[in-house]
Structure 1
Amino acid sequence: RGGDCRAELRVGHAAVENLEPAVVLPEPDRRPGRRRQNQPSRTLLDVCQPLCHRQSRIRSAPVRLALMIEGQEDVTWEQWLALARACEENRIDTLFRSDHYMSFAHPAEKGAMDAWTTLAGLAAATTTLRLGTLVSPVTFRHPSLLGKAVATADHISGGRVELGMGAGWNVPEHRAYGFPFPPLRERTELLAEQLEIVHRQWKDDRFDFHGRHYELENCTALPKPVQKPHPPLLVGGKGMPGTARPAARWADEYNTFMMPPDEFAEVVRRVREACEQEGRDPGTMRFSLMTGCVIGDERKRRLYGDETPPDTALVGSVEEVATRIREYGDRGCERVMLQHLLHDDVDAVAEFGRDLAPLVA
């Protein structure tokens, strides 16, 4: 099993690099994360305080934690229920899942339940847990179907769902299921149009839409979601214009993945710049990170064996992981989605909520 987990991590991490074109990131000359007003400056006495006191001073903003599960890696319904219960019992307020139909490493062996069907079921089985996708590719569903599915899940949950959207990337998966996979430029055009359509489905009483890729006439899309003004919209990417500009127009949150803190800061800078170009207050955009998290030597051995974990993963003791998370918080990150690849290990979820979350809150 350990070898399987390592293969999944390698394949998944390599593939997501293709979401947007690679760029050489300059060193930022400042940290663009927002700081609390009237925050006192640190003194020599602060530096010399014991570690337990220092931990509350070295971060500039609290960071919320969410759980992220790779649902295409043979997660059973019983495991989904156990993970959701563990989140609710241990104050992890949101459970995200990937939206894929095929395992990255073992497509002929591992099953993948449909994302929004799974989330609707979990919505009925939970009471407080928020639920969402990270992220739903624009190539899988017509936006009218996607908007309707999310609105339905919002009613089932009583207003607890979030929609993450992205341009899509996994070519073999698209070929296997017969989904068209156009060039990146066209996929980002689809993203922009889908974000507007979903947004208007949720808010407008009746509307027409005439775009390059979609035509809607006299659309009412009832019932509207429970959440007002609408369920949170999240866009995933690396801060390039193809995702940053549509996000600046329509999204509440921008999520990126598996990168060092300074690269994260550069993504924040680029997306905030896109907000300014769109006439939006950059301070209204939230930022988050999805990255792997493994606490403890035993889990590290199970997942990586003798291999060295990737630099972007949060691996170590609770205190070591908390320190890494604060580095992202200092650079504008408000939420970290902890990618938990050992989905049969609910004790790890309890540790995330019970031990890790208080250190970064």
Structure 2
Amino acid sequence: MTGDFRFGVNMVVPDSRAAWVGKCRQAEDLGYDVVSAADHLGMAPPFPALVLAGEVTSRVKLNTFVLNTPFYNPVLLARDVTGTDQFTDGRLELGLGAGYVKAEFEAAGMPFPAARERVDHLERTILELKRRYADPEHKPAPVRPEGPPLLLGGRGDRILTLAAGHADIIGFTGTGKSADGAPLTLATAEDIEERVAFVRGKLGDRDAEFNLLVHFVNTAEDRKTGLENLEKLVRGEQPIDQLAQLPTALVGSPAEVVEQLHAHRERFGLTYYTVLEHNMAQFAPVIEALR
């Protein structure tokens, strides 16, 4: 952890063993706290990838960011989770999601359930995992009796309610509301603030860490130019004054981004950020500036 913050990098590019090893070591050397493996067809298989990452690093946590839970049988998933937890000496963070890419279900020859059904399956999976963790007959056993820390990611009311009841880490996607199975859109700062307020209302006295997936990073240019380029990239979906408030867009010099992180912590309660693999090196000066 760097100060009050944690930073993860989500690996999304399938690679050779040597390339995977190299970039996991690089992430740790750059100061990241978490190495994550995404769960999409055409990417590295999450659990083997994290076991290998654990073998070649010593400090970083290892996270599934996030599993497409409807693809998994809960009992078989419990075996893979606790086995990976054992093989990484308890460094696993388990990230679960309800799944949202209709094309992946079709490619797998599976029906694309309604959002309600996918969240139902996610809830059944969480309860089954907890039951297995507590069962002394379950082997391999988790390193901690309660199992690895649970991250639940999503934006809808039901999944965030589920996260407020069960998750150690609540992951906000930073995407806007869209029709089920439709392309994702970029949430405004007000959208994210509303989702955070919704979760706080459901948490009650329970504590949880707030995570955000960062969609855009630009620390190589001055902030004004960076925001202008971002406005072009999103094709005017949001004007510059709105983009400047987004916690999903960290733009400016490392010192300016550090200021943004502190402002976002005050406004949204965000202390754990995950950047995408292609932004790993670019975001690293921000981590250095926080030390």
Q: Shared topology, TM-score over 0.5?
A: yes
- Which of 1 and 2 has greater Rg? 1
TM superposition shift of 1:351: 2.8
Q: Is residue 197 of structure 2 the alignment partner of residue 291 of structure 1? A: no
1:253 to 149, 166, 169: 169
2:39 to 84, 96, 99: 99
Taking the aligned partners of 1:245 and 1:154, their CA distance within structure 2 comes to: 26
1:125 maps to a residue whose letter is: V
User: Does 1 or 2 have the higher relative contact order (CA < 8 Å, sep 6+)?
Assistant: 1
Structure 2 SS opposite 1:230: coil
Taking the aligned partners of 1:347 and 1:272, their CA distance within structure 2 comes to: 33
1:77 to 17, 20, 42: 17
In structure 2, relative to structure 1, the CA distance for the partners of 1:204 and 1:314 (3 Å cut) is same
Taking the aligned partners of 2:188 and 2:277, their CA distance within structure 1 comes to: 19
Quote the sequence identity (%): 26
Whether the aligned pair in 2 keeps the contact of 1:261 and 1:328 (CA below 8 Å) is no
Q: Which deviations, in whole Å up to 9, do the C-alpha atoms of 1:101-147 show, x marking residues without a partner?
A: 13xxxxxxxxx221112111111222211111111011111112222
Taking the aligned partners of 2:101 and 2:129, their CA distance within structure 1 comes to: 23
Partner of 1:34: none
Instruction: Give the root-mean-square deviation of aligned CA atoms.
Output: 2.6
Partner of 1:66: 8
Partner of 1:179: 110
1:96 maps to a residue whose letter is: S
Taking the aligned partners of 1:234 and 1:305, their CA distance within structure 2 comes to: 29
Taking the aligned partners of 2:196 and 2:168, their CA distance within structure 1 comes to: 14
In structure 2, relative to structure 1, the CA distance for the partners of 1:227 and 1:236 (3 Å cut) is same
Task: Give 5+ residue unaligned stretches, structure 2.
Answer: 175-186
Taking the aligned partners of 1:297 and 1:323, their CA distance within structure 2 comes to: 16
Deviates more, 1:92-101 or 1:77-86: 77-86
TM-score normalised per structure 2: 0.80
TM superposition shift of 1:150: 1.7
Partner of 1:237: 154
Partner of 1:198: 129
Task: Give 5+ residue unaligned stretches, structure 1.
Answer: 1-60, 103-111, 206-219
- Where does 1:274-289 land on structure 2 (aligned, <5 Å)? 274-276=202-204, 281-282=205-206, 284-289=207-212
TM-score normalised per structure 1: 0.65
Whether the aligned pair in 1 keeps the contact of 2:258 and 2:286 (CA below 8 Å) is no
Whether the aligned pair in 1 keeps the contact of 2:9 and 2:32 (CA below 8 Å) is yes
TM superposition shift of 1:99: 0.8
Q: Is residue 273 of structure 2 the alignment partner of residue 339 of structure 1? A: no
Taking the aligned partners of 1:62 and 1:84, their CA distance within structure 2 comes to: 23
TM superposition shift of 1:272: 2.3
The count of corresponding residues between Structure 1 and Structure 2 is 260
Partner of 1:324: 260
